[in-house]
Amino acid sequence: MITVSAVEIYTSTALGHGLAALGVVIRDSDGQTLRVVGRILRPVPPEGAAYRAVLHGVWMAKRLGARRIRVFTEHPEIVAQLAGEAEVPAHPIGPYLQTKAMLNAYRWSNVELVVREQNAAAALVAAGTLEREPLTPAAVDDEELEFLPLWLSAEHAAETVDHH
């Protein structure tokens, strides 16, 4: 296992084909790429996908042993909400709270806005993931449960109850 004290996390999302995808690139302080992850999500609003991308990156950095993180996202509303400068709408409150909790688990963390041109690697990962072989909705749900933190399990449980 790689252990690093500080990392930069670049996150992006892509929407299309009735699905959403996230792209995450984690680099050390020297700019060396440590992890590249692309995942399909079930359909969510753009803000929800952005939170999931940030949360997934923060989660992965913790698994790498990072103690200090800088997170980059292309979504100004996410940056403002996490900084306490904007209201959080009801629909992303779960991922928002989990993201805040994970950010507080680090010695130092910061979420910053990045323009898409400076976030090309994460954007390409998200777009490439979305263009891969299409998955059935059941396959997407099963795959998500294997790698995402608690919010998805809670959503999945709620949907199961709602459908019965």
Q: What is the pTM of this model?
A: 0.81
Say what the pLDDT of residue 137 is: 45
- pLDDT, one tens digit per residue, over 87-130 is 999 989 999 999 999 999 999 999 999 999 999 999 999 999 99
Say what the pLDDT of residue 121 is: 97
Q: Is the pLDDT of residue 11 over 50?
A: yes
**Which segments of the chain are extended strands (E)?**
6-16, 19-28, 33-41, 68-73, 108-113
Pairing between β-strand 6-16 and β-strand 19-28 as defined by DSSP bridges: antiparallel
Average pLDDT over residues 45-66: 94
User: Measured between alpha carbons, how far is residue 103 from residues 18, 71, 106 in Å?
Assistant: 30, 10, 6
Name the band, by pLDDT with cuts 50, 70 and 90, for residue 154.
very low
Sequence-separated (6 or more) residues with CB below 8 Å from residue 116: 12, 74, 123
Decide: helix, strand or coil at residue 60.
Answer: helix
Q: Exposure pattern of 108-133 as b/e (b: 16+ CB <10 Å)?
A: ebebeebeeeebebbbbbbbebbeee
In terms of CATH, what superfamily is 6-162?
Ribonuclease H-like superfamily/Ribonuclease H (3.30.420.10)
Tokens 């979305």 belong to residue: 130
Say what the pLDDT of residue 2 is: 61
- pLDDT, one tens digit per residue, over 14-53 is 998 788 999 999 999 899 999 999 999 988 889 999 999 9
For the chain, the structural domain boundaries read 6-162
